[in-house]
């Protein structure tokens, strides 16, 4: 009796995991392995478009990278710009909610996630129209001579970065808020009592204590930003295409599965390497 | 002489006071601009839902209520919306059940392979959506499954599960273990303790996770675009019509979703406040 009870207790966590992990194995691990397998295929000689065979051609990776190195670089530059901008906007925002909002704290938190509820595509298209020729930004800027008659704001890299910053801002703000909110205000008071001024207190007390939030927020912004192609498709131009745009068109328009797979893997590997380096450097291992 | 003195003396404190006020409220002013940035496109979308625009909703042509009276007026739009809601509900149910079970296993038990399990949960979140979408599509193609409704549901469950696990796990971690010990001390067996103590305490976390899963699924475009084939969802409808101008009905639906979700969140907060008071 007791034997069977302890045995079932040992088994219980595995039983709880089983359905979910079976699902994730079938529809997450298996597809990734299959994608890996696709990435080294080559077209069948004399076959139709979209017919490939396994030839273990690892040079696919080199070809794909060289052919698309510009979009590759752009993906990472845009994603880093958007992440830094989002951090600069979100940190004071999270700080204000955590320490200055008083009884409005919960309402302001809801307002941070509220824009999520309008479809993100609608908001991105709204930016396109706001920044467009007939929006309410460009005409006044032209009248005051801040931008020239020929300058446009849409179809630029600037608009793509702005759109990405906007899209991922809540992902940055929420973890920042979560870690700022946990800081005991007395640690900041103590720093003040020890004659540190506001800047020193921030630099030596608040910022280090909020580092887990900074790391989580930057990751949650950077990862989707690097793989994004919607902002580039709606707000950009042919010269601001990102890797996501290439993968999408390889899949759907050119039916070049091996290149799309190789690019996907390169993107994923690059992100994982950057993220690992970053977490090491930031010294917060307990993210998951 | 005295007049000049009188005039200059008060101006210094005013300036000083003004700059001090500015210094003290700098972060609030900054936050105000931050929120403005967040809400400009939302306000724009809402305003243009009242535009008497005809087919393309690009320029303001006058106020009308007819878009709100007839939200299904644009072709295909309500089919797309219906698909999004159906996919969202099914994906939410499955991912909440699977994710909650995993969260209990990881959050409650020390077992061999726990850190590997954590990694398996983290990986889908660290994978760019486009890779998730593309890899699933290539699997479906191998098994000659046509993209469509069920492939899309499966794809949504894949990326929602991890978010459910993280949300529910956080709630489990914040539980006071003494509450369960107290139940056991009062001769509740394991199952009774779970049903009467643990589950009600974790329930708000599960509800939050379900809400998160639904909004992630409803709003998803990239993964859906890869796995839905000819099926239209609301985000796909917006993306496709963006090229030639979005009908104002899309703005109506977007705004309505916004207010509906806001109402649910506020109601949830009020309920949790009320239960706290009664306790």
The whole-model pTM stands at: 0.85
B150 touching A, CB under 8 A?
Answer: no
Chain A touched by B21 (CB under 8 Å)? no
Confidence band for B67, pLDDT divided at 50, 70 and 90: confident
Strand-strand pairing, A41-43 and A52-54: antiparallel
Q: What is the 3-state secondary structure (H, E, C) of A215-257?
A: HHHHHHHHHHHHHCCHHHHHHCCHHHCCHHHHHHHHHHCCCCH
Contacts of A104 in chain B (CB under 8 A): none
State the smallest CA–CA distance between residue B112 and chain A in angstroms.
Answer: 9
Residue percentage of chain A with pLDDT more than 90: 36
Q: Are B91 and B156 in contact (CB under 8 A)?
A: yes
Task: Quick: pLDDT tens for A81-127.
Answer: 999 999 999 999 999 999 888 888 888 888 888 888 888 899 999 99
For chain B, percent of residues with pLDDT exceeding 70: 94
pLDDT at position A157 over 70: yes
Nearest residue to B268 (alpha-carbon basis) of A167, A98, A178, A109: A109
Mean pLDDT in chain B? 86
Q: Calculate Rg over the CA atoms of chain B.
A: 26
Indicate the pLDDT class of residue A5, thresholds 50, 70 and 90. low
Q: For A72-282, which CATH class?
A: mainly alpha
Share of chain A above pLDDT 70, in %: 95
**Predicted pLDDT at B2:** 47
SS3 A41: strand
pLDDT tens sequence across B205-263: 999 899 889 989 999 999 999 999 899 999 999 998 887 778 888 999 999 999 998 88
Structure tokens at A258: 């091996």
At B65 the pLDDT is 85
Tell if the CB–CB gap between A247 and B130 is shorter than 8 Å: yes
Tell me the per-residue pLDDT of A163-222, one tens digit each, with 9 for 90 and over: 999 999 998 999 999 899 888 888 888 888 888 888 888 888 888 888 888 998 999 899
CB contact under 8 A, B126 and A166: no
ipTM above 0.90, yes or no: no
The pLDDT tens digits of the residues spanning A239-253 come to 889 999 999 998 888
User: What confidence score (pLDDT) does residue B264 get?
Assistant: 85
pLDDT of B279: 46
Count of residues in chain A: 288
Domains along the sequence of chain B with CATH: 2-67 (no CATH), 76-246 (1.10.3720.10)
pLDDT grade for A238, boundaries at 50, 70 and 90: confident
Round the average pLDDT of chain A to a whole number and report it.
Answer: 86
**Chain A residue with Cα closest to B131:** A264
């Amino acid at each position: 009796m007791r034997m069977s009870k302890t045995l079932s207790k040992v088994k219980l966590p595995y039983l709880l995991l089983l359905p979910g992990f079976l699902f994730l194995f079938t529809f997450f691990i298996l597809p990734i392995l299959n994608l890996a397998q696709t990435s080294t295929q080559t077209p069948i000689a004399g076959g139709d478009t979209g017919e490939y065979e396994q030839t273990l051609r690892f040079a696919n990776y080199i070809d794909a990278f060289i052919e698309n190195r510009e979009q590759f670089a752009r993906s990472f530059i845009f994603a880093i710009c958007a992440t830094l901008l989002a951090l600069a906007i979100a940190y004071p925002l999270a700080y204000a909610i955590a320490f200055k909002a008083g009884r409005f704290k919960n309402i302001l938190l809801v307002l941070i996630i509220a824009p999520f509820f309008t479809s993100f595509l609608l908001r991105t298209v709204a930016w396109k129209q706001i920044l467009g020729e007939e929006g309410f930004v460009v005409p006044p800027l032209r009248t005051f001579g801040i931008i020239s008659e020929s300058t446009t704001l849409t179809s630029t890299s600037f608009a793509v970065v702005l759109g990405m910053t906007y899209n991922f801002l809540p992902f940055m703000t929420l973890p920042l808020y979560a870690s700022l909110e946990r800081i005991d205000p007395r640690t900041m008071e103590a720093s003040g009592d020890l004659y540190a001024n506001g800047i020193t207190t921030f630099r030596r007390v608040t910022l280090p204590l909020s580092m887990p939030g900074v790391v989580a927020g930057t990751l949650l912004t950077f990862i989707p930003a690097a793989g994004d192609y919607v902002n580039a498709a709606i707000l950009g131009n042919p010269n601001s295409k990102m890797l996501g745009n290439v993968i999408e068109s390889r899949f759907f328009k050119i039916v070049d599965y091996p290149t799309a797979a190789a690019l996907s893997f390169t993107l994923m590997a690059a992100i994982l390497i950057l993220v690992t380096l970053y977490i090491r450097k930031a010294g917060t291992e307990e993210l998951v | 002489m005295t007049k000049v003195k009188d005039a200059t003396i008060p101006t210094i404190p005013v300036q000083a006071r003004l700059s001090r006020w500015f210094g003290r409220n700098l972060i609030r002013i900054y936050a105000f601009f931050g929120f403005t940035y967040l809400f400009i496109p939302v306000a724009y979308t809402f305003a243009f839902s009242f535009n008497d625009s005809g087919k393309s909703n690009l320029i303001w042509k006058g106020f009308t209520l007819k878009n709100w009276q007839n939200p299904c007026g644009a072709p295909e739009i309500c089919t797309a919306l219906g698909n999004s809601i159906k996919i969202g509900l099914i994906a939410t149910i499955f991912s909440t059940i699977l994710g909650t079970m995993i969260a209990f296993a990881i959050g409650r038990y020390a077992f061999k392979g726990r850190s590997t399990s954590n990694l398996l949960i983290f990986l889908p979140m660290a994978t760019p959506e486009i890779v998730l979408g593309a890899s699933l599509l290539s699997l479906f193609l191998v098994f000659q499954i046509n993209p469509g409704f069920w492939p899309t549901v499966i794809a949504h469950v894949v990326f929602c599960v991890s978010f459910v696990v993280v949300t529910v796990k956080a709630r489990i971690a914040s539980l006071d273990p003494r509450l369960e010990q107290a139940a056991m001390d009062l001769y509740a067996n394991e199952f009774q303790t779970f049903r009467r103590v643990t589950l009600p305490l974790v329930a708000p976390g599960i509800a939050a996770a379900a809400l998160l899963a639904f909004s992630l699924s409803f709003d998803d475009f990239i993964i859906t675009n890869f796995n839905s084939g000819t099926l239209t969802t609301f985000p796909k409808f917006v993306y496709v019509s963006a090229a030639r101008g979005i009908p104002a009905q899309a703005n109506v639906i977007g705004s309505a979703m916004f207010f509906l979700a806001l109402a649910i969140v506020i109601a949830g907060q009020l309920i949790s406040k009320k239960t706290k008071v009664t306790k």
